[in-house]
Amino acid sequence: MKSANGLAGARQGRPAFWNTAKRYYDFKSCLGNTFGTRVAKLTVDAGFTCPNRDGARSTGGCIYCDGRGSSLRRKGALPSVTEQLRLGMERYRGSGAEKFIAYFQTFTNTYGPVDELRRLYDEALDFSPDIVGLAVGTRPDCVSDEVLDLLASYRERCRVWLELGVQSFHAPTLERINRGHTLEELLDAIERASSRGLELVGHVILGLPGETSEIMRETARRFASLPFSGLKIHLLLVLEGTALADEFRRGEVPLPTLEEYAGWVADFLELVPPRVSIQRLTADGYRDIFIAPDWARNKLAVLNAIDAELERRDSWQGEKDGE
Q: Are 99 and 35 in contact (CB under 8 A)?
A: yes
Which H or E element spans position 100? strand 99-104
Exactly one of 14, 22, 53, 234 binds ligand SF4 (CB under 6 A); that residue is 53
Exactly one of 140, 165, 207, 318 binds ligand SF4 (CB under 6 A); that residue is 165
Give me the count of residues in the chain: 323
Rounded to 5°, the CA angle 117-58-150 comes to 20
Exactly one of 44, 50, 120, 220 binds ligand SF4 (CB under 6 A); that residue is 50
For residues 220 and 320, give the distance between their C-alpha atoms in angstroms, rounded to a whole number: 11
Q: Are 243 and 195 in contact (CB under 8 A)?
A: no
Q: What SS3 class is residue 268?
A: helix
* 25 forms part of the interface with ligand SF4 (CB under 6 A): no
* 235 forms part of the interface with ligand SF4 (CB under 6 A): no
The interface region with ligand SF4, picked from 60-68, 240-248, 283-291, 292-300 by CB under 6 A, is 60-68
For residues 312 and 278, give the distance between their C-alpha atoms in angstroms, rounded to a whole number: 20
Exactly one of 9, 61, 112, 263 binds ligand SF4 (CB under 6 A); that residue is 61
CB closer to ligand SF4 out of 53 and 222 = 53
CB closer to ligand SF4 out of 39 and 296 = 296
Q: What SS3 class is residue 291?
A: strand
Q: Are 163 and 201 in contact (CB under 8 A)?
A: yes
CB closer to ligand SF4 out of 15 and 69 = 69
Looking only at residues 120 through 139 of this chain, which bind ligand SF4 when binding is defined by CB under 6 A?
Answer: 139
Exactly one of 107, 154, 161, 316 binds ligand SF4 (CB under 6 A); that residue is 107
* 105 forms part of the interface with ligand SF4 (CB under 6 A): no
- Cα 132 from chain centroid? 19
* 65 forms part of the interface with ligand SF4 (CB under 6 A): yes
Give me the residues that bind ligand SF4 (CB under 6 A), please.
Answer: 50, 52-53, 61-62, 65, 107, 139, 165
